[in-house]
Structure 1
Amino acid sequence: TVVPIAVNTAKLLPVARAPQSKNILTLGTLHYPPNADGIRWFLNEVFPLVRAKVPNATLTIIGKNPPQDFLLAASQHPDVVHVTGYVPELDEYMQKAALVVVPVRAGGGMRVRILEAFSRAMPVVTTTVGLEGINAVPDRDVFVKDTENEFANAVIKLLMDSQLQQQLAQSGRKFVENHYDWQVILGKMNDVYVQIHQGNA
């Protein structure tokens, strides 16, 4: 039996997003190569496609140790790309954003930040690799896209439709409450311990 990671949905409450915002948020430990690679792919390949359809779209990249090319992009386009470095509190950034992108293309493990974004009722666009280990339903709880065009189109669709943002956000929140809240996980762990005790595991 595998017991998945959990989040405290009673503490990670939905944020009051700005539905008309055109800001896209992405976050992660930026010296971890899979995180940097995925965000670099989004910044260089996907984001220009988004801007072609939504010219006022902006990107905020949060995380410690941002690579030099991220900082360069922010310095060259200060009104478009924002690189914050590490921030202790995400709420104010989430409140200004329309959605979260998790453009991971390699690397193992479950993306806790997807569960945290679900818990905050943030719409999420990610990849098949990004969603590994999370049993969310694509197009109901989260958008899962793997090519530049598909990923860009999902982001564009959300930026242009605040009602769709709300549907995805509410569905993601409900999903994490029902499947990945720590009290739900503790119940599963208790079942495992009972099985072990009974010799049935």
Structure 2
Amino acid sequence: MKKVLLITDVDFWQKNSGHRTRIAALIKYLSGQTQLTIVIACPVHESAETIIAGNLNAEFHVLEKNGILNSTGYARRLKKFIKGRFFDAVIIEYIHCSYFLNVLEDGTNVILDAHDIISDRAEEFKKHNYAGALYEISRETEVNIFNVFDHVMVLCQPDYDRVKQIMGAGNVLLCPHPVDYKQYVINEDVKNIVFVGSAYVPNVDAINFFINECWPSIAAKYPVLLNIYGTVCHELSIATTSGIRLNGFVTDTDQIYAGADIVINPVRFGAGLKIKNIEALAYGVPLITTTHGARGLEAGLNNCMLIADTAHEFTDAVELLINDFPLRRQFSFNAQKLIETHFSAKKCFDPLMAVL
């Protein structure tokens, strides 16, 4: 088996946001296909170590358990850990961790798991008056760093097309997020509309937009509840009598989606692939999202999801699905085909395994 080193500063075992879930899925897959070593560049509590060790078929090493080091400190510890060890490939999670390249031996096959194109994300945030809210990088710097790597992994076709222009088709890997399809009964009557999100700025913006611009007219016409899940709830203040329930973070996604009749994701900006949209489709729940939210899901447009970009469009889409049970049932059936065709673990990670 190939020996692979994966380096991350993300507490992926938490799984309370899309990027954590994505890294956990990649690690799970690689641990069954390669001899995997994971280096963690963030604090790890003893209880978390137990969780990591119990869930992974891989070696893992924490560079510093109790605090946060600067980049020089982490790089020195990595250099010490890998001294005398050989890896067929090294995967670095996120471009901001590219400084680890400085301690790798020349000739090492290095792969960047980019997740997002950061310069694109920065432009999107700026358009919506959130400039500086997250780590930013110039397009020129990002392109230069991409070209230091042997391969760059991205999660959706639009990002693949952009990076391909920079590096060439042979150096960019399209590796979306894998999910397993889980069929639940589609109820004839809609009772629960569901939104799932972390406290990520675009999620907070999205659900506030829906609550303020769409929910009043929907709630006035239909006896439905808006159930909100995830750490996004910490950023909201909603009266319990408004037909909106703040459920917080729930570890069991089955619990969330088994009771969902419609899933909404009115996200208006950000970057990359929306993991929550993939999850909703994997559970066969009819989805309403925006043009931005559908990036990487183009094969499902008007097939297992509806697209709405304005408050009026979103309200109309919700009402359409509430009133059209056969359409919701058809969307659920179509979602199964989309997931099985495009988002199985093998389909998502075959490009990576080919270069390994």
Superposition TM-score, scaled by structure 2 size: 0.49
- The runs of 5 or more residues in structure 1 that have no matched partner are 195-201
SS where residue 122 of structure 1 aligns?
A: coil
State the match for 2:331 in structure 1. 168
Please identify which structure carries the higher strand content.
2
State whether structure 2 residue 297 is matched by structure 1 residue 134: yes
Deviation at 1:149, TM superposition (A): 0.9
CA drift of 1:190 comes to 4.3
CA contact (8 A) 1:102 1:125 kept: yes
Q: Which residue of 2 aligns with 1:21?
A: 190
* Aligned residue among 154, 161, 175 for 1:4: 175
Q: Does the alignment pair 1:58 with 2:252?
A: no
Compute the displacement of 1:3 (Å).
1.4
Aligned length: 185
**Per-residue CA distance 1:110-151 (angstroms, 9 max, x = gap):** 101111111111110000111123233321121011011111
Contact 1:104 1:129 in 2 (8 A): yes
Look up the SS of the partner of 2:291 in the other structure: coil
Deviations 1:82-103 (A, max 9, x none): 0001111122332222110011
* Equivalent AA in structure 2 for residue 75 of structure 1: T
1:45 counterpart residue number: 213
Native 8 Å contact 2:303 2:334 kept in 1: yes
Q: Which has the higher contact order (CA 8 A, sep 6+)?
A: 1
Please give the per-residue CA displacement for 1:27-68, whole angstroms capped at 9, x wherever unaligned.
010x211000001001110112322432x1210000115245
Contact 1:18 1:96 in 2 (8 A): no
| Partner residue in 2 for 1:75 | 240
Larger CA Rg, structure 1 vs 2: 2
Unaligned runs of 5+ in 2: 1-171
Please say if 1:155 is aligned against 2:318: yes
RMSD: 1.9
Query: What is the CA–CA distance in structure 2 between the aligned matches of 1:153 and 1:52, rounded to whole Å?
Result: 14
Runs (4+) off by over 4 Å: none
In the superposition, the TM-score normalised over structure 1's length comes to: 0.83
For 2:280, the equivalent position in structure 1 comes to 117
2: CA distance, partners of 1:133 / 1:139:
14
Aligned residue among 24, 34, 57 for 2:202: 34
Aligned partner of 1:60: which letter? N
Question: Distance in 1 between the 2:294 and 2:232 partners?
Answer: 24
The answer to whether the 8 Å contact 1:59/1:81 transfers is: yes
C-alpha distance in 1 between matches for 2:173 and 2:350: 13
